[in-house]
Amino acid sequence: MTNKVVHVEEDVTEMIGIENCKMMSINMTLSLIILVGMRLCLGTGPNTWIDVSFRINKLNFIWSKAIHHLSDKALIKRLKDELDNFDSLYLSAKAASIKNEKLVLEEVDNKLVQLLEKYGLGSAVTAYMKKYKWRDEEEENSILSSEKFKDPKLQKLWHAAQNSRFSKNEQKIVHKELRDHERKMALYEEKVQLFNELNDNTLTENSFEMSDKLNRELKVHHNNIINSYDKLHQKILQVSRKVFNNEKVENLWHLATQNPNFTMSELESIRVELNHFDKRLEKMKYHDEELKAVKKEQEKLGKLNVFDEDISGLEEENKRLLRKLRKLENYLETKIVHTEL
């Protein structure tokens, strides 16, 4: 009887032990689940978020700054959710029509800046803009330098434009104009080929009428191509060659030739006036040199402070010429620069 009681007590003790083990296991599992959940929600540090990536490079750049700048894990999680939304917004903007794409992207950019300012990350956007503006300009300049034109004459013009006094922005405009001209030439070649095919196949219905019509179109198209090339040639040539001796006059002439508001006759009139200004500047330069030479000679003789009628006369002449030059310069700048604006 005693043995049976002992065995029962042992069985009860064993069952209690098993139940305790089960409870401990459940508690440990629950604690582990809670801990994992907390880590997923809050993270443990910057390394937790390193693998997060977006489809838009700009957001990846900003995110890399954010995880090191923000210490509040809940704030980081909230920012990630908001950047996920912007990831979709940017993709939608890029998928918009080309005509409105820039406007849409600017709107999204403005919203992004407002969001990041709330998180104290406004500097991240500025850093991105500077970095990628420089990269885009480098890529764009590289493309402009490496692209070649099929027509040797156009390639020669482009080479002249690259080595002229065109600014980078003006070079882009010239490059586009040369590409447009190249497309006109390609279209003309297609029409010539079609014209030849029509003449070869005289059995085609209304072939004579079609050929005659196409022949007239070709003549007009050919004249347009010649005029287009002449304008491009003159535009690049005027900037490439030095027309005037004085750099100031050259700059004014460059502004005038780049101004679409001036007609050819007006440009010719401005060229004559600038030529007159250029000669006046040369004359002023000669008088300056003459005055310096006379003063140097007086200095050698030890008479620099002694009144000299010749020196006095030269100084008065220089002042008179300088007044006229300033008046003429103001007139030309007003005429050229203000008309451009």
| pLDDT tens-place string over residues 34-88 | 444 544 444 444 455 556 778 787 788 888 888 878 878 888 888 888 988 888 8
Q: What is the pLDDT of residue 274?
A: 92
Architecture of domain 247-338: Up-down Bundle (1.20)
Structural domain spans, the chain? 57-141, 154-241, 247-338
Residues in the chain: 341
Question: Concatenated DSSP letters for 74-116?
Answer: HHHHHHHHHHHHHHHHHHHHHHS-HHHHHHHHHHHHHHHHHHH
pLDDT band (50, 70, 90) for residue 277: very high
Higher pLDDT, 141 or 239: 239
pLDDT band (50, 70, 90) for residue 138: very low
Higher pLDDT, 47 or 292: 292
Contact 155, 188 (CB under 8 A): no
Mean pLDDT of 164-181: 82
User: Is pLDDT of 31 > 70?
Assistant: no
Which stretch of DSSP H or E encloses residue 163? Answer: none
Q: What is the CA radius of gyration of the chain?
A: 40
User: Is pLDDT of 173 > 50?
Assistant: yes
- CATH code given to domain 154-241: 1.20.81
* Structure-derived torsion over alpha carbons of residues 33, 34, 35, 40, reported in degrees to the nearest 10: 90
Q: What is the pLDDT of residue 45?
A: 47
User: Is pLDDT of 23 > 60?
Assistant: no
Least confident of 173-182, 268-277, 287-296: 287-296
Query: Residue 122 and residue 288: Cα distance in Å, rounded?
Result: 56
Same fold, 154-241 and 247-338: yes
Q: What is the mean pLDDT of the chain?
A: 73
Q: What is the pLDDT of residue 284?
A: 87
Contacts of 208 (CB under 8 A, 6+ apart): none
Higher pLDDT, 323 or 106: 323
Distances (CA, A) of 43 to 72, 76, 112, 270: 10, 9, 24, 71
pLDDT band (50, 70, 90) for residue 137: very low
- C-beta contacts of 320-325 below 8 A and 24+ residues apart: 321/280, 321/283, 321/284, 321/287, 322/284, 324/280, 325/277, 325/280, 325/281, 325/284
Mean pLDDT of 304-333: 80
Q: What is the pLDDT of residue 77?
A: 87
User: Is pLDDT of 176 > 70?
Assistant: yes
Q: What is the pLDDT of residue 310?
A: 67
Q: What is the pLDDT of residue 211?
A: 73
User: Is pLDDT of 15 > 70?
Assistant: no
User: Is pLDDT of 189 > 60?
Assistant: yes
Q: What is the pLDDT of residue 48?
A: 56
pLDDT per position as a tens digit, 217-237: 888 888 899 998 888 888 887
Contacts of 166 (CB under 8 A, 6+ apart): 174, 239
Query: Residue 322 and residue 98: Cα distance in Å, rounded?
Result: 55
For the record, the structure tokens of 204 come out as 């085609």
Q: Show the CA angle centred on residue 86, arms to residues 83 and 87, nearest 5°.
A: 90
Please classify residue 239 by burial: count the beta carbons closer than 10 Å to its beta carbon, then call 0-12 exposed, 13-18 middle and 19+ buried.
buried
User: Is pLDDT of 18 > 60?
Assistant: no
Q: Show the CA angle centred on residue 282, arms to residues 280 and 284, nearest 5°.
A: 70
pLDDT over 90 percentage in the chain = 3
